[in-house]
Amino acid sequence: MNSIKTTLASLTLLALPAAAIAANGDWSFSIKGGVVDAVGGDVHRGPNFDGSVLLGLEPGSLPVDVDAKSFDDVYGSLMTLALEASYQQSENLSYFLGLSRLSSDEGVLRVGTVADSLPLNGEFSDYEDVGLYGGVRYHFTNQSNWQPFVSAQIGLKDVDEITASFSVPDVTFVDPYQAALTNAPFYDGGTVFSYGVGFGLDYRISEGGTLSIETGIYSQEAIDDNDSVLDVLALGALNDEGDLDYMPLTLRYTFSF
């Protein structure tokens, strides 16, 4: 992620002076933040398998039923923060370039059942991505201070790796599975393509300041899975997911220059 963070920082430094020296009022700078609800995409699938090897039992004696879990199940609401530089091309049309961060604390939940009654618990590491995006907004201008708009954007995100730990309360797996299933590699992360459409409402609070509320539907490609541990249990398909659809609800404050 270091390379994309360096690129994002460089673009920020370039965008700020450009906005500051513009004398015709075409440039603006924004900060926005809010909550994000995952509305599509799974963290893992829901296969059934024989877990007898985990406790050194006779083959076929320990059924494990895993439930498919979505990003919403695992992480709940995420948080987003972004900086944007915008250029007002015309009265109705503007272009924007943004830097974003999407994150959530670790997810801890029941992910299945062992031997028909025991809970199988999963703990997934924090979710975090850093993104660079660009797009266009169309503003429906009128004589009031309230200005609706629609937008479309595309971008790239660099997603951190995700690890997972699996456990059964008061049960210790035999070696080497206890260690292998603690902070096991689950997703390698990496750079993914993102895109989406949005709509919202601007409220002009001063000559140079605008407060906006915005939502929409956004998607990103699946992140690369890591099967180095799961393949040992013939569960390489468990994490063949990783794509995400989400709806943010954000507030944006814009400074016009």
Residues 202-227: what's their mean pLDDT?
A: 94
Question: The tokens of 107 are what?
Answer: 């997810």
The C-alpha R_g of the chain, in whole angstroms, comes to: 23
Provide the mean pLDDT of the chain: 89
Q: What is the tens place of the pLDDT at every residue in 46-100?
A: 989 999 999 999 999 999 999 999 999 999 999 999 999 999 999 899 999 999 9
d(CA 32, CA 214): 10
Helix (H, G, I), strand (E, B) or coil at 252: strand
CA distances from 163 to 41, 173, 182, 216, 235 (A): 17, 18, 9, 29, 15
Look at residue 9 and tell me whether its pLDDT is greater than 60: no
Is the model's pLDDT at 2 over the cut of 90? Answer: no
**pLDDT (average), residues 100-107:** 97
Between these two residues, 117 and 257, which has the higher pLDDT value?
117
Tokens of 93: 């049309």
User: Tokens for 239?
Assistant: 């994490």
pLDDT at 122: 95
Coil, strand or helix at 51 = coil
Burial class (CB in 10 A: 0-12, 13-18, 19+), 114: buried
**Where do the DSSP E strands lie in the chain?**
27-40, 42-44, 48-50, 63-66, 69-70, 77-88, 93-104, 107-114, 118-124, 127-139, 146-159, 162-167, 184-204, 209-220, 224-225, 244-256
Q: What is the mean pLDDT of residues 164-191?
A: 94
Q: In the chain, where are the structural domains located? A: 2-256
**257 confidence band (pLDDT: 50, 70, 90):** low
For residues 83 and 32, give the distance between their C-alpha atoms in angstroms, rounded to a whole number: 6
Give the pLDDT score at 17. Answer: 40
Write out pLDDT tens, residues 11-49: 444 444 433 333 344 899 999 999 999 999 999 999 899
The answer to whether residues 43 and 66 touch, using CB atoms and an 8 Å cutoff, is no
For domain 2-256, give the fold.
Answer: Porin (2.40.160)
